[in-house]
Structure 1
Amino acid sequence: MSEGGEPRLKRWFGGKREPLRLTAIPRDHVVGDMLVGERLLGGRFLHGARQVALNQVDFNAAPGGDPLLERLHSFAWLRDLAAVAGREQAAPLGEAITGHWLAGDERRGQDVWNPVGWGERILYWTAYAPFILSSSDAAYRARLVNRLAAAARFLDKQADKAKPGLDRITAWAGLTVASLTLSGGVARVARAESGLLRALAQGQHEDGGLKSRAPYEQVELVDRLGLVRAAYFAARQSLPDPLEDGATSALSALHGVLMPDGGLASWQGGNPGNPARIAAIIEGCGMRARPLREARGWGYQRLSALGTIAQVDAARPPANPFSDTSFASTLAFELADGAQRLVMSCGGGAGSAGELDPGLANALRASAAHSTLILDNMNSTAMLDDGQPGKGVETVEFERGEDDGATRLTAGHDGYHRRAGLGHERRIALGNDGKEIRGEDRLVPVGRRLKRKTLPFDIRFHLAPDIEVTQTADGLGALLRSSAAPPWQFRTRGARLRVEPSLVVDAHGAPRETQQLVISDECGKEGAAVTWHFRRSS
């Protein structure tokens, strides 16, 4: 934004007699990545497996979809810098990078401004102001604060143009924090928080989960709302109850998709992520909540018993405008025994610094890349080339309860109704001692006869990469060994079992070879049923 806009900014944030300044500094309690911080002090910017020398960064260039540059432009690295150095040591570096960025922003022009980027930058500029505003250079300080105010005015007009969901929430979060922390802005907090609450209502299910249904985005949502809460406290303003409720329910939904090793379940093209970062965000967000177990909108059902965790995707795939890429994972499940993952989805690279081969990334959207039943090699929901879901699952129904010493879940979807005249129903029971999980997959005739006399189906269980599999001689079971948990036995009844190669995407966004258990059979006009169970050996 041109310097000629400054008088309007001063009228928007404060009177003519009072120069623009920060009146409150939110305190971020989330501890950053110390390795990234140390590399920064050494003159290199690290993101995932990539790093670049700071003196080789072209600050005139827009991110252009490059994950490393997007991270650099977000200023989230200020948190990492603060993890390894105090203001006296880190401020010269933080201000040097910010100065180059400001000069580059002036040359990049207003056409590269976007609501999401500015929302995120405001959150970190305000929380880490001592690291970028301690300079004795008055002209630099004025330029930075004026740019922050210009961004806030931009967001006031543009925040609602961001995509519904996390993007729009981020934009309004930035404006809310700017209004709370810039001189003269408190009078405009009501408008900003109204926009933020509206964005939350649009992008969140009532149970707190984002409508994108992406766990890696849920981590960012909790982080954003934690920074907003910190700004309210710093400005000594009352946090609206609906905002506090939305933030707490967001944390509850996030807890619901965590595995005992501290990572995420691999839903919606995500992967386990960095457990240390997730733990830091949960610990530092300032909120406390219990895991969401029975999620209706968010959709992830959680069964737990003495360290054994099972999750089931009991909802339809998300679609535009809340998700650019959908996955046919309905009724898939994941299983872990303490820190040892047993059954996973193949996952994907979303939310990671690395990039997967486009062909592989597209293949990972299929039902066959999830631990569920696949009928006649069809996806439960067709996956279109533009990333959106096609025909398939419209309705998912489920019931859960506790009896006979177990937590029970019965869920079914209509994804195969029109195409095959069959419904898929999955029943799962986790014993209260955590030692056994029993399952049954049923194909139930609906409406009309099958197009063919029989249809083949497979039930797949993708295993964690560190699981050693030994199949039993009768072809109906397997022994699963790992270094982090006792052995588990798998048995099936009603169909033959085989072991096949598979892959899962690890926490760094890289594919790793593994194996899968595959039960194969055929379904006739009367339907079919296959039972299976996992049992801990000790």
Structure 2
Amino acid sequence: MQWGPDRWTFYRLAGREAARTARSAMARVTAGPSTLSRLRPTGLVIAPQDLRTSDATIAADIYGGLFVFAGRALATGGRSPFDFAPPSPEWGEALYGFGWLRHLRAADSALARSNARAFVQDFMAGRGDRELANRPPVVARRLISLLSQSPLLLEGADHAFYQGFLRTLGRCVRHLDLALRRGILPGDRLSAAVALCFAGLCCEGFEPVLRRGTRLLTRELARQMLPDGGHRSRNPTFIKDLLLDLLPLRQSFLTRDIAPPEALLNAVDRMVPLLRLLRHGDASLGHHNGTGATEADQLATLLVYGGASGTPLMHAPYTGYTRLEGGATLVVADVGPAPGPAYSAAAGAGCLSFELSSGAQRLVVNCGMPATGEDMRRLARTTAAHSTASLDDTSSCRFLDPRGPGFAHPLASWLRRRLGPAVVRGPARVTAERSTEPDGAAVVAARHDGYAPTLGLLHERRLCLSPDGGCLDGADGFVRPSSAGPAVPAAIRFHLHPTVRAAREGRAVLLSAGNGELWLFEADATDPVIEESVYFAAFNGARRTEQIVLHLAAEAGTRATWRFRRLSA
């Protein structure tokens, strides 16, 4: 692949990763044997609560041999699902993570318990793809799931199954300990720390595991969590999933009459208000930096159990999100820099993108992250898949993609195996200022430099939401801080939710929302164009939708103003 002006950034990243690999290898050689490798659990003390949504009807599908995970389905015809090749990596991770056992528990029947034990017995017998099953995040999820669903699995079980179950828990702990000693990505380290804490709290004889997990959890929360409650990945889904584990973990500490780590308590207290900032009126999260479809009941459960006040955070300067409210209308905008490479495997090139909703009706969206499909995920991360400005048909981020010939191809392939499809270069300097107009309108003005290294232009955006929420005024401008250069083709995109229909109304665009509202989009200097788009963040797969696009030539001083105006409620 051709790296152009990013080649030295790429080589520096490769050098840092090579040095980290060498340090990890040296640590493995010089370190003594782990004390956790000799531990065996002797019994279970408690079973942590699982806050994730369960559905007894899914248990019926599983009993019938239909396994639907991550947007893919597999019909086993009465055979074990572990005898089949996974339809996608994400499907396999869900299968071997055993989170789906909660649906069998919701069925609350002897048949469901017997069925669950049979599946776990198949796995304990060695069936399935061990390479996929032993990936650190999958092992961490499996350990938490087995502990949470132990009442389902062990009620009515014989002694042999119980002993095999304990051995499986011990193997999970040893796998995680070995992976941590070898070195894994930060997000996986945090997941492993949570799983080790659960194992130490729930199992007799695992006191050293609890001490190790608590130390690791305290360290990783301090390193990875930001002061405003966000995570360094800037991924709202990661925050939601982490909180779904941290809340039961906090309760498990209290159940065992052990004081939870201060870092755990502080993280939970900060994360809940941030989720409120990112939540729209339909009770789902904004589609930023790796977030796709959100299970609204999970989010509602978190906000109830989290115990935070009903007032959301309005601005998260460290995580890089801001929220404007007016009446029942709200805007959530991405005003943060690209995450570091180790945290950016799911991050998108959506700097200064925004999403607009009116009550429970989503109007302007980003395309969102699909549940599966490498090509679709690659497309969903581009700037063109976000409601912001893209220049010269390129993205504001450069992703680690080893496709194509060239000297750097083997090196890029090695880096991708280590880091995933990470962001190599993206917006580094992003500024955002909030203010209030004399009439009470909420304003945010932001700027990013994602296109400066390649095209020499900065993108500026100003959003102003009226107090009653009836009008969102916006302006996009471009600045060239260095010497003059040629004009660059630009496209300012506004992706519409699939329930919104667009039609030309003179030089404007009339939007008919699913809730009956009518909105009018107007642009002052450029005629808007209605084009096809795709919405990836739907539970039933990608859906066709539309987008409004302003095409223009961007150069120093170019400015485009536009507005969304509500006509009726």
Q: What band does the TM-score fall into relative to the shorter chain?
A: 0.7 to 0.9
- Write the mapping of 1:39-438 to structure 2, written as runs, cut at 5 A: 39-47=61-69, 48-53=71-76, 55-59=78-82, 66-85=89-108, 88-104=110-126, 113-159=134-180, 161=182, 163-186=184-207, 188-283=209-304, 285-288=305-308, 290-349=311-370, 352=371, 355-356=372-373, 358=375, 360-386=376-402, 387-404=421-438, 405-438=440-473
Q: Which of 35, 58, 65 lines up with 1:36 in the alignment? A: 58
SS in 1 for 2:275: helix
Aligned to 2:43: 21
Task: Measure the CA separation in 2 of the matches of 1:184 and 1:422.
Answer: 60
Task: Measure the CA separation in 1 of the matches of 2:220 and 2:83.
Answer: 31
The one-letter amino acid paired with 2:501 is: E
User: Which digits, 9 at most, give the CA deviation of each residue in 1:292-335, with x for residues without a partner?
Assistant: 33122321212223321211111122242112244221111111
Task: Measure the CA separation in 2 of the matches of 1:280 and 1:292.
Answer: 18
User: Which digits, 9 at most, give the CA deviation of each residue in 1:259-284, with x for residues without a partner?
Assistant: 2112222222432333244434554x
Aligned to 1:504: 535
Task: Measure the CA separation in 1 of the matches of 2:277 and 2:182.
Answer: 30
Shift of 1:111: 9.8
Shift of 1:136: 4.3
- Write the mapping of 1:448-467 to structure 2, written as runs, cut at 5 A: 448-450=483-485, 452=486, 454-467=487-500
User: Which digits, 9 at most, give the CA deviation of each residue in 1:101-138, with x for residues without a partner?
Assistant: 11126x97799634322221221222221111123411
The one-letter amino acid paired with 2:382 is: A
User: Which digits, 9 at most, give the CA deviation of each residue in 1:503-531, with x for residues without a partner?
Assistant: 22132262222221112223444x11111
Aligned to 2:19: none
Instruction: Quickly say closer, same or farther: Cα 1:27–1:362, change in 2 above 3 A.
Output: closer
Unaligned runs of 5+ in 2: 1-34, 403-420
Task: Measure the CA separation in 2 of the matches of 1:81 and 1:38.
Answer: 8
Shift of 1:182: 1.0
Task: Measure the CA separation in 2 of the matches of 1:390 and 1:287.
Answer: 38
Shift of 1:372: 1.0
Aligned to 2:39: 12
Q: Is the 8 A contact 2:496 2:547 kept in 1?
A: yes
Q: Is the 8 A contact 1:375 1:457 kept in 2?
A: yes
Instruction: Quickly say closer, same or farther: Cα 1:104–1:157, change in 2 above 3 A.
Output: closer
Equivalenced residue count is 513
Shift of 1:145: 1.1
Q: Is the 8 A contact 1:465 1:513 kept in 2?
A: yes
SS in 2 for 1:59: helix
CA RMSD of aligned residues (A): 2.8
Instruction: Quickly say closer, same or farther: Cα 1:31–1:154, change in 2 above 3 A.
Output: same
Shift of 1:384: 4.4
The one-letter amino acid paired with 2:176 is: L
SS in 1 for 2:351: coil
Aligned to 1:531: 561
Task: Measure the CA separation in 1 of the matches of 2:130 and 2:474.
Answer: 58
User: Which digits, 9 at most, give the CA deviation of each residue in 1:15-48, with x for residues without a partner?
Assistant: xxxxx00112223344413332232344543324
Shift of 1:488: 0.9
Q: Is the 8 A contact 2:200 2:207 kept in 1?
A: yes
Q: Is the 8 A contact 1:326 1:383 kept in 2?
A: no
Q: Is the 8 A contact 2:352 2:446 kept in 1?
A: yes
Identity %: 29
Q: Is the 8 A contact 1:95 1:135 kept in 2?
A: no
SS in 2 for 1:441: strand
Shift of 1:144: 0.9
The one-letter amino acid paired with 1:12 is: L
Aligned to 2:548: 517
Task: Measure the CA separation in 2 of the matches of 1:524 and 1:134.
Answer: 69
Instruction: Quickly say closer, same or farther: Cα 1:162–1:342, change in 2 above 3 A.
Output: farther
Q: Is the 8 A contact 2:269 2:306 kept in 1?
A: no
Task: Measure the CA separation in 2 of the matches of 1:418 and 1:493.
Answer: 30
Task: Measure the CA separation in 1 of the matches of 2:183 and 2:84.
Answer: 22
Aligned to 2:407: none
